[in-house]
Chain A
């Protein structure tokens, strides 16, 4: 187990180098003036461009530029945003907001997705089952921004149940609606996955054994059906945690949330290359770590899986 973790951690190094190199080269390959954002969206003075070219080693071949960039990052220098703030500082302001949004979204996935999935499976073919299958299909079919705007308009503007945008510091109550919108797609998948695996497990031989042992129905369901069915569901939700922590560009945009997704989108639109590459690197690192945790959790849930 320990050796497995060490090997997985070591494997992260080439993955991290590969992804950041791709993003670095793509960011600089984008058309447009990479410095204009520093000079009020106008061409910068020749002297400034020269100084920047020098500083970022832009005259060197791409791998060497990238090498310098990584070297700086390894020393804790993540570059600066266009208004002169250090990227690391800006990111450490945005990341807690994204974490909070993720927590709300995952809570919806667990409580509603698993809960309703179980209820639907146990009433297979009933009205409730049919209703939620339909609703989940709708959630899967509509893009997140449509669901976002529709709910924002009706629940926020018309009924005034939720705040329409998220205020400074992203208080929890403001994040309920955005969290639900962000979760909607995965929520639908979790619901369907829970329902499908539960129906599968209900037919399993070991469940018949549990009934033949004279266990009460509730215990058969809790201990021998739900527990087994949740293995793939929890794995799915775990992987989703990693994805959500990477920031939600659309949902953050709709609700004006100052998270990682918004930061990345802003940086991309004004060609703030240092921010794009640094933030993406952080996001990749988070996703890799969360995936490792999910794999370890999977082994905890299913004793048949052992990592050597």
Chain B
């Protein structure tokens, strides 16, 4: 009915950028969701940096604002109800937020691409996977459908889908979960983007498949030399692949720094709590640690540090505005805690 004849392929090409500028620089980003119950501060003055070839993990529990941050960078927030109230997102020096949508669209898929959490719902059920990979080439590269199909098979081979040439005409529901996520990855790398954002790419998968998909993602990042933003709450995944870590809590970045340092010696009580709540092979028989309490409601954030109510180290100053500023520690990382130096040195007890 709505055949591809009506959607004449447009030769569009990649937007030109200045390669000398930093790859991605997010400053002071705030996102508010206007809901009937009030305004939810989903992202609160977040800074992020990503360099070429780097893997940045954004760590945090549900509702911490990590996915919203990713969607803001990608430009796929539902606005309304979402509203970006402050900040800049600079890609190679160009602010994506002030760019007209016509221009912004060309960055999506070509410069910045995304792998979603649940590949079954993220793929269109009524088109073959070949069609869905191929449309990237027909739209952005002006290729014929035949050439696009060839490209699709190549990409499916590359992400190691067995029998790619035969399966290119299959529909998403005919693939297993792991294979579907490989198709998502194939779409993400298709146009050789500079940044790949993976939003909990393994959460919907079997544990046995998770490692394979993560490995593939890391391998594709290496091969393309792009930067990877990995959004996850899986500390194991972070430990294996991330160069840098940003820990988010209630819409704020509470700690940011090189992965090895953050893991070895957290500078924020929340990060410390997260690491302690990870199951370990040693110390069998001990109860698994859990951070007491729940994160605050984004509709009604408490004054001061959002983590204060659950923090074993909290003192009166933590419950007063302004919230603790990000302080630099040993010249490489930041922590938004009044007692950051102390936490690094002695933990919280």
Contacts and interface: CB of A to CB of B under 8 A. Distances in A.
B1 A230 contact: yes
B114 A226 contact: no
Interface in A279-301: 301
B195 to A, nearest CB: 12
Given A204-B121, A227-B126, A228-B125, A214 B76 contact: no
A210 B105 CA distance: 11
B108 to A, nearest CB: 4
Interface residues of B, number: 32
A42 interface: no
Given A303-B171, A304-B171, A214 B140 contact: yes
B242 to A, nearest CB: 22
B339 interface: no
B15 to A, nearest CB: 10
Contacts of A168: none
Nearest to A302: B126
Interface stretch (B2-10, B90-98, B265-273, B290-298): B2-10
A218 B101 CA distance: 13
B334 interface: no
B130 to A, nearest CB: 13
A217 B102 CA distance: 9
Contacts of B72: none
B122 interface: yes
Nearest to B78: A203
Interface residues of A, number: 27
Given A208-B76, A214-B140, A216-B139, A222 B2 contact: yes
A217 to B, nearest CB: 8
Nearest to B118: A205
B122 to A, nearest CB: 5
Nearest to A215: B139
Contacts of B6: 222
A211 interface: yes
B121 A205 contact: yes
A216 B116 CA distance: 20
A165 B66 CA distance: 66
B45 interface: no
B175 to A, nearest CB: 12
A42 to B, nearest CB: 58
A211 B173 CA distance: 21
Contacts of B108: 211-214
Contacts of B114: 209, 212
B135 interface: yes
A230 B124 CA distance: 14
Contacts of B118: 205
B122 A213 contact: no
B152 interface: no
A16 interface: no
A206 interface: yes
B7 A303 contact: no
B109 interface: yes
A224 interface: yes
B106 interface: yes
A223 B171 contact: no
A230 B125 CA distance: 13
A214 B110 contact: yes
Interface string A191-215: 0000000000000111011111111
Interface in B101-148: 105-110, 113-114, 116, 118, 121-127, 135-136, 139-140
A303 B174 CA distance: 10
Given A214-B105, A222-B6, A227-B1, A209 B116 contact: yes
A138 B76 CA distance: 38
A304 B123 CA distance: 13
B89 interface: no
B74 interface: yes
A222 B125 contact: no
A121 to B, nearest CB: 15
Given A205-B122, A222-B7, A212 B113 contact: yes
Contacts of A227: 1-2, 126
B179 interface: no
B235 to A, nearest CB: 26
Contacts of A224: 124
Contacts of A206: 121-125
Contacts of A223: 2, 4, 7, 127, 135
B54 to A, nearest CB: 21
B133 to A, nearest CB: 10
A223 to B, nearest CB: 6
A66 B136 CA distance: 64
A219 interface: yes
A113 to B, nearest CB: 15
B139 A214 contact: yes
B126 A301 contact: yes
Contact of A205 (B106, B107, B116): B116
A205 B123 CA distance: 8
Given A222-B2, A223-B2, A211 B76 contact: yes
B56 interface: no
B186 to A, nearest CB: 12
B23 interface: no
B244 interface: no
Interface of A: 204-206, 208-219, 222-224, 226-228, 230-231, 301-304
Given A211-B76, A212-B113, A224-B124, 16 more contacts: A206-B124, A208-B116, A210-B124, A212-B74, A213-B113, A213-B187, A214-B108, A214-B139, A216-B139, A222-B2, A222-B6, A223-B7, A223-B127, A223-B135, A228-B124, A304-B125
5 contacts: A209-B187, A213-B135, A214-B139, A216-B105, A304-B171
**Pairs A-B, 6 closest by C-beta atoms:** A214-B109, A214-B108, A205-B121, A206-B124, A213-B109, A303-B171
